Structure 1
C-alpha cells in the first residue's frame, strides 16, 4: 500500500490497527481521508490476512468530523439547480459506502474513542461492531448545529444502538453524550481511565477474536447484522443457509483439540477476494 497521509496502519498477530494521525487538524474528514480509508478497508477485506481491526486516533479528539472544505473544494455540492441537487445523492452514496464497509467487511471492527467523536465521526463509529471509550470521550451529532441533517449513517444506525427518545434528543439539540451515559445506554461496552489502557484493551479483545476461526467470525457477523434488520423468522431462515455454507468439522475439531492442549488454534485464513476489477 502506498504511504498514507491521514492514517497509520500496522498488523500484528492478524490484528490490523488503523490510527487516525492528523491531530493538528483534529483528524477531520476531508477528501484524502475518505479516499485513504476506502482504500485501506477494501484492501484489508480483500486480502483476508487481518482477522480483526482496531481503529483509534491521536491528539485531543478522536475526530472533529467532516472538514468544511470538503463541501467547497473537491466535493462541491451544487444546490442551485435540480440537476446539481440530484447529484448530491451520488456524492453522499459514495461517502456512505465507505463507512458501510466497516459494517459489511468480513472481520470485526473495534473503535477506540477518546475525546470528541463529533459529526461524521459518529457516522463512522456507529458502523463499527464494538465501541470502547475513555472517560473524557463524548459523542455529538454536530450537523444540526451547522444547519444540516446528519447524512452518512448516524440517523440510520444510532436508533439501533440507543433508545429512540435519546437519539432524537441528541439529533435535535446537538448536545454531547458523555462516555458514562454512552456506557449506561450500551453505545460503548467499556470505558477506560486512559487512552493507552483503552487501546491496549481494544487490541487485546481483537487478538482474542483473531484466535477464533475466521470463517465462523465472518458468519457470526453476517448473522448478527442480518438479524438486526429482519424478523426472527427471516433471520432463522438466513441462519440455516449461512450455517450450511460455512459449517466446518475440521475447524470444530481444531478448536476442541487446541482447547484441550491449551495452545492457540491453527485456522486457515479467509480466502482473498478477487473481483473482475483485479483481473487483466
Structure 2
C-alpha cells in the first residue's frame, strides 16, 4: 500500500503541516506498511525544514482502532518467535516499529494530535509520542493490547507514565479499560476537550498557527530541551541546555521578534531550512 492509502499530508504557506488519517471505513487501523509510511513522512518534513508544526488528525467516527487485527493472524517472519534466531530477528523488527513512533518524538517541530472517538491500542502509542494531545467530547483512550493477550510494545508503557500519573497509567495498562475524554483532561493526557470533531480541529489548528508564528529556532530548541529534561536529571539537563543555547542563541532572531512585538506586527522568521544529506 502507498502512504496516501493511510493518510493525506499537506503543508501550507505558513509552515503548518497536516497529516490526516483517511481510512474511516477501516476505523483508520494500522497495517504494517503504515508505520514506515508515517516515519518517512515525518522525517521527510523534518529534513525539508519548512514545517514549523505538524497536526495529526483523523476522519470518521474514530481516530484509530490501532493495529489491524489481521496483522496478528499472519504467519510472517515478523511474528515468528519459534527459535533463538527468530527471536533475535523479532527484536530487530520490533525496534524498527518502535522507531516509527520515535520519529514523532524526535521531530524538530512540535506535533499536535487531534483525537475524536476511539484512540485504541497502537493509536495511543502514536498519540503518546506527540507533543500535545487534544480530544473531542466523545473521545476515549484504551491500552487495547492487554485485552488481546499481549503487552503494549510501541512506546505507550514507556511514555504514558511521564504524561499522566503513573498509577493511572498502570491501571489502564493492567485493565485495558477505556479512559473517557473528561478524565483524560483531568489527568493531563489531553490539554483540552472540545464539543465535536469540527470544533476540535479548529482549536488544534488555532494552536498550530500560534506556534507557527514563533521563531522556529526557539521552538525547536525548546522541544530539544524539554525532551532531554524528561529523560535526564535536572543537573544533566542544565548542562545540556548550556551547550544547546550556545548553539542556537541568535540575536538577529531575537531582533525580529522584539521589533515585531514593539510594532504590534507579525514577525517574519525564516524556516529552519533543509538538513544536509550525505550522498
TM-score (norm 1): 0.96
Does structure 1 residue 238 correspond to structure 2 residue 243? no
RMSD of aligned residue pairs (Cα, Å): 1.3
Q: CA separation in 1, counterparts of 2:100 and 2:80?
A: 22
Q: Residue 70 of structure 2 corresponds to which residue in structure 1?
A: 69
Closer, same or farther in 2 for the Cα pair 1:75/1:95, shift >3 Å?
A: farther
Q: Residue 180 of structure 1 corresponds to which residue in structure 2?
A: 182
Aligned pairs for 1:63-102 (under 5 A) are 63-71=64-72, 72=74, 76-102=78-104
Q: CA separation in 2, counterparts of 1:94 and 1:229?
A: 21
Aligned pairs for 1:63-212 (under 5 A) are 63-71=64-72, 72=74, 76-212=78-214
Deviations along 1:175-229, one digit per CA (max 9) or x if unpaired, are: 0001100100001000000111111111111111011111111000000011111
How many residue pairs are counted as aligned between the two chains? 276
Q: Is this contact kept in 1: 2:136–2:196, CA < 8 A?
A: yes
Q: Is this contact kept in 2: 1:31–1:74, CA < 8 A?
A: no
* 55-64 or 27-36, larger mean C-alpha shift: 27-36
Q: Residue 50 of structure 1 corresponds to which residue in structure 2?
A: 51
Q: CA separation in 1, counterparts of 2:191 and 2:216?
A: 23
Unaligned runs of 5+ in 2: none
Unaligned runs of 5+ in 1: none
Q: Is this contact kept in 2: 1:113–1:131, CA < 8 A?
A: yes
Query: How much does 1:69 deviate?
Result: 2.5
Deviations along 1:57-103, one digit per CA (max 9) or x if unpaired, are: 01111000011233416663112112111211111111111101111
Closer, same or farther in 2 for the Cα pair 1:186/1:271, shift >3 Å?
A: same
* 211-220 or 80-89, larger mean C-alpha shift: 80-89
Q: CA separation in 2, counterparts of 1:167 and 1:91?
A: 26
Closer, same or farther in 2 for the Cα pair 1:74/1:207, shift >3 Å?
A: farther
Closer, same or farther in 2 for the Cα pair 1:3/1:97, shift >3 Å?
A: closer
* Secondary structure of 1:145 counterpart: helix
Q: Residue 4 of structure 1 corresponds to which residue in structure 2?
A: 4
Q: Is this contact kept in 2: 1:6–1:32, CA < 8 A?
A: no
Q: CA separation in 2, counterparts of 1:114 and 1:75?
A: 34
Query: How much does 1:274 deviate?
Result: 2.7
Deviations along 1:22-72, one digit per CA (max 9) or x if unpaired, are: 001110110231132122111101001110000000111100001123341
* Secondary structure of 1:76 counterpart: helix
Deviations along 1:124-144, one digit per CA (max 9) or x if unpaired, are: 000000000001100000001
* 30-39 or 8-17, larger mean C-alpha shift: 30-39
Q: Is this contact kept in 2: 1:47–1:272, CA < 8 A?
A: yes
* Stretches of 4+ aligned residues off by more than 3 angstroms: 73-76
Closer, same or farther in 2 for the Cα pair 1:195/1:73, shift >3 Å?
A: farther
Closer, same or farther in 2 for the Cα pair 1:196/1:143, shift >3 Å?
A: same
